[in-house]
């Protein structure tokens, strides 16, 4: 059969490639973004209890009411944003599903979507499956700041959406108040929607404030805001996330969501509703990960690895230009095979610009894991 691929340039994701290689050669896996420690046992107990109590059938399409209420309450408390849990909050099977559904809900063939490289690898395929065109604007090493003049130049009458991510994977930068002001001016008077990927909203360092789109009435009126409980509760394998958006956007979003997954795992939603409504876990998450970031940096201090500032997420970019002039992919493979530490080359997140000499390391790991990993690479 002569099948014409809708995603001809997509192969196996770099995360799968590096995690498999790490397993094959017995390397420490600092590549894929997941903790090597367990979640709060009380969360597992809560899921088990809900299963035993028989909450094992389809959840409502839009999500369990108690969880939607807890999400709305969190947005009101943290960002002063009044989302209606009935019409403006939807629970999804991970942030990835939320991103895909939001793009599919509003992007028509021929539409343009502005994305910033480096970017999470699901963005561009989601746009292309919907027949849209990704207009890539480069965030450049080493500061990865948003070049607003270039963004303005990239806007056309066909621009349907701008996709943003803060705290940012893989660059670990965050949007500031100036960025929000620029964005507000840029979209004012246009029909451009915003997809704001805020899955790392609770992992932000050095006392910085998370600039959620929800804080601004003008921006939240046109935004899908995506969250993920995988990041917040150390349960990336459970794949539960959400999207908040104004009712008109949510109506279109749910039309897609109900035919992609229909609904999300029921007992887990009930357990997360308990944790979230009791404000468990997320208030102390930034301090928890900041300590791990600082430990990792202390362990590498004095080495030829040069850290770039990590202002949020659980990723650290390390500049290796003082060690080798290899391309990032080649060096990442060699580092895994010869030195037993797997990382992610940032070229995996790039579309236009040549890869800079940096690798992404995930520090969502036990202290012992970080100690052994740092010991293996610090003398390079």
Ligand X SMILES: Cc1ncc(COP(=O)(O)O)c(C=O)c1O
Residue 286: partners with Cβ closer than 8 Å, 6 or more residues away: 202, 203, 204, 205
Q: At what angle do helices 367-377 and 285-300 cross, to 10 degrees?
A: 30
63 lies in the site for ligand X, by CB under 6 A: no
Contact pick of 29, 90, 159, 228 for ligand X (by CB under 6 A): 228
Please name the helix (run of DSSP H) or strand (run of DSSP E) that holds residue 91, with its range, or none.
Answer: strand 89-92
197 lies in the site for ligand X, by CB under 6 A: yes
- Cα 162 to Cα 375: distance, rounded to the nearest angstrom: 41
Segment 105 to 124, residues that bind ligand X, using CB under 6 A: 120
33 lies in the site for ligand X, by CB under 6 A: yes
166 lies in the site for ligand X, by CB under 6 A: no
Cβ 189 to ligand X, closest distance in Å? 29
| Cα R_g (the chain), whole angstroms | 20
312 lies in the site for ligand X, by CB under 6 A: no
236 lies in the site for ligand X, by CB under 6 A: yes
First to last CA, the chain: 50
For ligand X, the closer of residues 95 and 345 by Cβ is 95
For ligand X, the closer of residues 187 and 199 by Cβ is 199
Please name the helix (run of DSSP H) or strand (run of DSSP E) that holds residue 296, with its range, or none.
Answer: helix 285-300
Cβ 195 to ligand X, closest distance in Å? 10
Helix (H, G, I), strand (E, B) or coil at 196: strand
Cβ 313 to ligand X, closest distance in Å? 7
Contact pick of 63, 118, 132, 241 for ligand X (by CB under 6 A): 241
How many residues make contact with ligand X (CB under 6 A)? 14
For ligand X, the closer of residues 120 and 299 by Cβ is 120
Helix (H, G, I), strand (E, B) or coil at 212: coil
Segment 64 to 103, residues that bind ligand X, using CB under 6 A: 94-96
Query: If you write DSSP's letter for every residue of 306-349 in order, what string do you get?
Result: EEPP--BSSEEEEE-TTT----HHHHHHHHHHHHSEE-EEGGGG
Query: 300 and 374 in contact (C-beta within 8 Å)?
Result: yes
230 lies in the site for ligand X, by CB under 6 A: yes
Using CB positions, name the residue nearest to ligand X: 94
Residues that bind ligand X (CB under 6 A): 33, 94-96, 120, 165, 169, 197, 199, 228, 230, 236, 239, 241
């Amino acid at each position: 059969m002569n099948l014409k691929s809708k995603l001809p340039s997509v192969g196996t994701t770099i995360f799968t490639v590096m995690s498999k290689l790490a397993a094959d050669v017995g390397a420490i896996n600092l590549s894929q973004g997941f903790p090597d420690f367990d979640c709060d046992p009380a969360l597992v107990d809560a899921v088990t209890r809900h299963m035993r109590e028989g909450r094992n059938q389809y959840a409502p399409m839009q999500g369990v009411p108690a969880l939607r209420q807890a999400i709305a309450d969190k947005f009101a408390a943290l960002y002063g944003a009044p989302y209606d849990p009935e019409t403006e909050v939807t629970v999804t099977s991970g942030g990835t599903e939320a991103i895909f559904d939001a793009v599919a809900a509003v992007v028509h063939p021929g539409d343009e979507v502005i994305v910033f490289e480096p970017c999470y690898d699901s963005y561009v395929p989601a746009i292309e499956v919907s027949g849209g065109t990704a207009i890539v604007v480069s965030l450049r090493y080493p500061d990865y700041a948003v070049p607003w003049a270039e963004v303005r130049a990239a806007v056309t009458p066909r621009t349907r959406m701008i996709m943003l991510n803060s705290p940012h994977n893989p660059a670990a930068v965050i949007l500031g108040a100036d960025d929000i002001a620029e964005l507000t001016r840029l979209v004012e008077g246009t029909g451009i929607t915003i997809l704001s990927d805020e899955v790392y909203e609770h992992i932000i360092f050095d006392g910085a404030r998370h600039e959620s789109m929800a804080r601004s009435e003008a921006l939240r009126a046109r935004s899908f805001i995506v969250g993920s409980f995988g990041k917040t509760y150390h349960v990336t394998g459970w794949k539960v996330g959400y999207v908040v958006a104004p009712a008109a956007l949510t109506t279109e979003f749910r039309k897609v969501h109900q035919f992609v997954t229909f609904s999300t795992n029921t007992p887990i939603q009930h357990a997360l509703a308990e944790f979230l409504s009791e404000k468990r876990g997320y208030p102390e998450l930034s301090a928890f990960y900041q300590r791990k970031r600082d430990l990792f940096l202390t362990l590498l201090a004095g080495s030829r690895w040069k850290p770039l500032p990590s202002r949020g997420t659980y990723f650290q970019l390390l500049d290796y230009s003082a060690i080798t002039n290899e391309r990032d992919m080649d060096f990442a493979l060699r580092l895994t095979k010869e030195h037993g530490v797997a990382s992610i080359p940032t070229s995996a997140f790039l579309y236009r610009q040549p890869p800079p000499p940096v690798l992404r390391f995930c520090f969502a790991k036990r202290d012992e894991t970080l100690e052994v990993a740092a010991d293996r690479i610090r003398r390079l």
